[in-house]
Chains A and B, each alone.
Chain A
Amino acid sequence: MLDRDVLLKVEGLTTEFETEEGTARVVDGVDFEVGRGETVGLVGESGCGKTVTALSLMRLIPDPPGRITEGSVRIDGRETLDLPEREMRKIRGNEISIIFQEPLSSLNPVFTCGEQVREAIGLHQKLGRRRSKEKAIEMLRLVRIPDPESRYRNYPHQMSGGMRQRVMIAMALSCEPKLLIADEPSTALDVSVQAQIIELLLDLKKRMGMALLLITHDLAVVAQMAERVIVMYAGRIVEKAPLDELFTNPAHPYTIGLLDSVPRLGSVKRRLPVIPGSVPDPLRLPGGCRFSDRCSSAVERCTIEEPPMISITGSHSSRCWLNERG
């Protein structure tokens, strides 16, 4: 990717949490980039560090106990990790926005939805009272909330989960950010609403030309939306590939396991294969490759030495010794 096409460049991002038992490194040396207008899927099981990665990009890690200890996050070439909080606040919502998993509790219960969209608009734009209200209604219309003028006066508890997620999207997009981070945007919603939200996000992305970092454990959602996919495991990126490449030619045993555990229509397999075990505790990582204790193709070397990211093709790389050539 050419430098000028890179919107977000993350290098060596490391986030740690102090716990009573020691320091847990939840995100460990993560590198990736997101291009302008690109959709990148960040995939992994729960507990693998996806959400902490997203919060680190926003610098919203609760401190204490969390802290970003190393790395660099550049937005449009500008380093954000050492910005003063006041400057960072101007970036949040304005250049990068985030929508969370829980639309039910992400809105303030004592204000109307419209007021909250208007607050989001007023944070980064100086508009008069009437003008900002018009803009808020416009945003509600943009996220396809029916009858936005009267919905403007609704309180969050009077709306359904899907409608609330739409309000959240309207707030996140109100200042036309260059990058939207969507952290499991459809997980808490029921299936038909999920599809609507995903379709809405795709449409808005196209219309506004923003980049999207989609965080999910749902490979079906990734297949629908992403151009490139990053797979995370236990705080590490284990595979990066363009979407088609990942689905046709997965390189890391963890990715293969994830793909195999998705039910397929017309499949004759009686039982879905699952990856045995669960994501290791960040305080008790296995030696060598972090996946070695669950991996069926692990050899002795895997438990001793952690593999680096090994390039397979130009845009496809994986953290597994099996991909080492020669």
Chain B
Amino acid sequence: MSGPGEKKSPKGPRSLWSDGWSRFRKNRMGMAGAVIVGIFYLIAALAPVLTTHDPVEQGDIPRMRYHAPNQQHLLGTDKFGRDVLTRILYGARISLLISFIAVAIAAVLGSAVGAAAGYIGGIVDAVLMRIVDGLLAIPRIFLLLTCISLFSGSVWLIIVLLGLTSWMETARLVRGQVLSLKGMEFIQAAEALGVGGRRIVLRHLIPNTLTVIIVAATLRIGRIILIEAALSFLGLGVPQPTPSWGQMIFSGRDVLLSAWWVSTFPGVAIAVTVIGYNLFGDGLRDAFDPRQYV
């Protein structure tokens, strides 16, 4: 994720971004997380090239179903004779797509609400923050289940719902940052030069909170992947036959003892991805901690 504040820095002078980046590179766990995340995106992008089987096409079911991992099917086959490895690789696409876009929606919406509340203050702040409190009080999984069962499930519905239910924490975070930045002299100096309110928010406040927003978003991606898996496991996630990790675990639950590979490998994929994102996010937080601003 790169934000508008991320400029190609010229040689010589170092921006906060390049400073933070060089701190990040020294953080081994963070780098490991970044590599894991990078690999998953690569896999997702290259899934058709890396796989030899079709993710959706059902094979000769009686003959092909529940093959244990072998040379032909490195991670075995599922109930419909489909290659588990292939489906995991394609599943990466859907998991990463859903989590990335949902978090992007949440980050934009949360930043906008938080910045507006913090900068305008007064009644606007009070109203927006009470809305946030209210939404945080609704158990998300029930909200999601209700909405998905009311409207027929589709990938985009899930993305939008996940995005709309996870912006509140970002809003709080950004509001806090904006409140503390608002009192800083450079904001007053900008106002003294005749900079208007919208420009102050977009050019002076948001770029100064961008690292916080990105760190929060990265950590949130892991959680969104888990929620999406949970929804799919409940049968309300990505509709069949599109491969999704949660739904693959779900489909293997009956045969967990006899054909353990059907559920286990997608589970491992989820765990590794989420751990990767969390390590990456923690590393980013250490590198771009706003308290290290000079």
Give chain A's interface residues, CB within 8 Å of chain B: 58, 60, 64, 89-94, 97-98, 100, 102, 105-112, 119-120, 123-124, 150, 153-155, 157-158, 168, 171-172
Residue-wise, chain B 10-52 has the 8 Å CB interface mask toward A (1 for contact) of 1011111000000000000000000000000000000000000
The minimal Cβ–Cβ distance linking B294 to chain A, given in whole angstroms, is 4
Given A105-B186, A106-B186, A155-B14, also A60-B207 (CB < 8 A): no
Q: Is the CB of A119 within 8 A of B195?
A: yes
Residue of B nearest to A108 (CB): B186
Q: Is the CB of B194 within 8 A of A107?
A: no
Q: Is the CB of B186 within 8 A of A107?
A: yes
Chain B, interface size category, equals 20 to 34
Q: Does B1 contact A (CB under 8 A)?
A: no
In the assembled complex, the Cα of A100 lies from the Cα of B190 at a distance in Å of: 11
In the assembled complex, the Cα of A108 lies from the Cα of B122 at a distance in Å of: 25
Q: Is the CB of A100 within 8 A of B189?
A: yes
Given A97-B193, A109-B294, A154-B13, 10 further pairs, Cβ under 8 A: A91-B194, A92-B193, A106-B186, A106-B188, A108-B208, A109-B293, A119-B193, A123-B195, A150-B12, A155-B16
Q: Which residues of chain B come closer than 8 Å to A155, judged between CB atoms?
A: 13-16
Q: Is the CB of A98 within 8 A of B184?
A: no
Q: Does B203 contact A (CB under 8 A)?
A: yes
Q: Which residues of chain A come closer than 8 Å to B12, judged between CB atoms?
A: 150, 153
Q: Does B60 contact A (CB under 8 A)?
A: no
Out of B188, B203, B204, B294, which one reaches A157, CB within 8 Å? Answer: B294
Out of B5, B13, B16, B189, which one reaches A106, CB within 8 Å? Answer: B189
Residue of A nearest to B195 (CB): A123
The minimal Cβ–Cβ distance linking A57 to chain B, given in whole angstroms, is 10
Q: Which residues of chain A come closer than 8 Å to B192, judged between CB atoms?
A: 58, 60, 92-93, 97-98, 100, 172
Residue of A nearest to B121 (CB): A64
* B175-209, CB < 8 A from A: 184-186, 188-196, 203-204, 207-208
The minimal Cβ–Cβ distance linking B268 to chain A, given in whole angstroms, is 40
A-B contact pairs, 23 of them (CB 8 A): A58-B192, A64-B122, A89-B195, A90-B194, A93-B192, A98-B192, A105-B184, A106-B185, A107-B186, A108-B186, A108-B204, A110-B15, A112-B13, A120-B193, A123-B195, A150-B12, A153-B10, A153-B12, A155-B15, A157-B294, A168-B189, A171-B189, A171-B193
The minimal Cβ–Cβ distance linking A94 to chain B, given in whole angstroms, is 6
In the assembled complex, the Cα of A60 lies from the Cα of B188 at a distance in Å of: 8
Q: Which residues of chain A come closer than 8 Å to B15, judged between CB atoms?
A: 110, 112, 155
In the assembled complex, the Cα of A107 lies from the Cα of B193 at a distance in Å of: 12
Residue-wise, chain B 240-270 has the 8 Å CB interface mask toward A (1 for contact) of 0000000000000000000000000000000
| Residue of A93, A94, A150, A168 ringed by the most chain B CB atoms within 10 A | A93
Given A58-B192, A93-B192, also A158-B204 (CB < 8 A): no
In the assembled complex, the Cα of A58 lies from the Cα of B194 at a distance in Å of: 10
Q: How many A-B residue pairs have CB under 8 A?
A: 79
Given A91-B194, A93-B194, also A102-B185 (CB < 8 A): yes
Given A109-B294, A110-B5, also A94-B194 (CB < 8 A): yes
In the assembled complex, the Cα of A124 lies from the Cα of B208 at a distance in Å of: 24
Q: Which residues of chain A come closer than 8 Å to B5, judged between CB atoms?
A: 110
Residue of A nearest to B10 (CB): A153
* B89-104, CB < 8 A from A: none
Those 10 A-B pairs whose CB atoms lie nearest each other, nearest first: A93-B193, A93-B194, A157-B294, A92-B194, A105-B185, A106-B189, A106-B185, A89-B194, A110-B207, A98-B192
Q: Is the CB of A110 within 8 A of B195?
A: no
Q: Is the CB of A119 within 8 A of B194?
A: no
The minimal Cβ–Cβ distance linking B21 to chain A, given in whole angstroms, is 14
Q: Which residues of chain A come closer than 8 Å to B186, judged between CB atoms?
A: 105-109
In the assembled complex, the Cα of A98 lies from the Cα of B195 at a distance in Å of: 13
The minimal Cβ–Cβ distance linking A104 to chain B, given in whole angstroms, is 8
The minimal Cβ–Cβ distance linking B223 to chain A, given in whole angstroms, is 28
The minimal Cβ–Cβ distance linking A118 to chain B, given in whole angstroms, is 12
Q: Is the CB of B193 within 8 A of A153?
A: no
Given A93-B192, A93-B193, also A158-B208 (CB < 8 A): no
Residue of B nearest to A181 (CB): B192
Q: Which residues of chain A come closer than 8 Å to B189, judged between CB atoms?
A: 100, 106-107, 168, 171
Q: Which residues of chain B come closer than 8 Å to A172, judged between CB atoms?
A: 192-193
Residue-wise, chain B 268-294 has the 8 Å CB interface mask toward A (1 for contact) of 000000000000000000000000011
The minimal Cβ–Cβ distance linking B289 to chain A, given in whole angstroms, is 14
The minimal Cβ–Cβ distance linking A113 to chain B, given in whole angstroms, is 10
In the assembled complex, the Cα of A93 lies from the Cα of B194 at a distance in Å of: 6
The minimal Cβ–Cβ distance linking A1 to chain B, given in whole angstroms, is 27
Q: Is the CB of A92 within 8 A of B185?
A: no
In the assembled complex, the Cα of A155 lies from the Cα of B12 at a distance in Å of: 11
Q: Is the CB of B207 within 8 A of A123?
A: no
Q: Is the CB of B208 within 8 A of A110?
A: yes
* B32-84, CB < 8 A from A: none
Q: Is the CB of A100 within 8 A of B194?
A: no
Q: Which residues of chain A come closer than 8 Å to B188, judged between CB atoms?
A: 60, 100, 106
Q: Which residues of chain A come closer than 8 Å to B203, judged between CB atoms?
A: 119
Out of A108, A110, A123, which one reaches B194, CB within 8 Å? Answer: A123
Q: Which residues of chain A come closer than 8 Å to B194, judged between CB atoms?
A: 89-94, 123-124
In the assembled complex, the Cα of A196 lies from the Cα of B294 at a distance in Å of: 25
Residue of B nearest to A115 (CB): B7
In the assembled complex, the Cα of A70 lies from the Cα of B209 at a distance in Å of: 38
The minimal Cβ–Cβ distance linking A168 to chain B, given in whole angstroms, is 7
